[in-house]
Amino acid sequence: MSRRAKRNTRRKLRNIRSQLRYFRNILDDMKSEQSEYYREWISDLSFIKKSLGLEKDIVSSKPSQVEHVEPLKINVDIKEEPAASEKDSNVKKPEWAKKLYREIAKSTHPDKTSGSYDSEKMKQSFQDASRSFNQNKFESLIDIALDVGISVEIPDEILLQKLTSRVKDIKDEILKIEKTPEWIWCESIGMDDIRVKFLKKIIFHMFKTNIDDEKILNVINDVDNN
């Protein structure tokens, strides 16, 4: 690779690292808000249903063209590591993967992190790294290292591809949250035109009935003043 190509790759890496930090911060903030948004949405929808004289189980109904998901939950089961197959053990492991695995293991080993506030996360990262290394899923080590704040010293071209893929995945997750009813409802406070159209779609899907815009707007105002 020429010097110019190397410089361009380093510039792209700086840019993609900035994007990764930016979008991960956004996603973390959204995840922390989503549970509260969900509770607020269900409470407001119950109020709206009663105000409009509509009777139906609101939780079991899903709005058309709007994906509903429960608040994000993390439920990780710690399982015993599967033994590496003979085929896996015969694969030559690249030096960068060996070095990265050692760094992860050193930073996340339960003997070192026991009692810390993030000990469970570190324990899971340690086991994930062991599994990935033993199963020759070397690129997964990059994800784990980035998640626990370990510097990744691998060829810039590989790192650039991996970080670009991570940014795309994070954007997709952000978009998924933005399409949930709770997010649309709670983020559209003060935007009556959006809320009226949104509720009309919800109500028609749930009850197969159309409600006058002015009536819906009055109920929205009642919700905001409730």
pLDDT in tens, 132-147: 999 998 878 887 888 8
- The DSSP line for 77-135 is PP-PPPPPPHHHHTSPPPHHHHHHHHHHHHHH-HHHHTTSTTHHHHHHHHHHHHHHHHT
For 106, other C-beta atoms within 10 Å of its C-beta total 11
Residues 6+ apart with CB under 8 A from 98: none
Q: List, for residues 90-137, the tens digit of each pLDDT value.
A: 678 988 889 999 999 999 998 888 878 888 889 999 999 999 999 998
- The answer to whether residue 41 scores a pLDDT higher than 90 is yes
Element (H, E) at 211: none
Say yes or no to pLDDT of 81 above 60: no
pTM of the model: 0.67
Q: Compute the distance between CA of residue 190 and CA of residue 107 in angstroms, rounded to an integer.
A: 47
CB 206 within 8 A of CB 55: no
Which residue shows structure tokens 């269900």?
A: 42
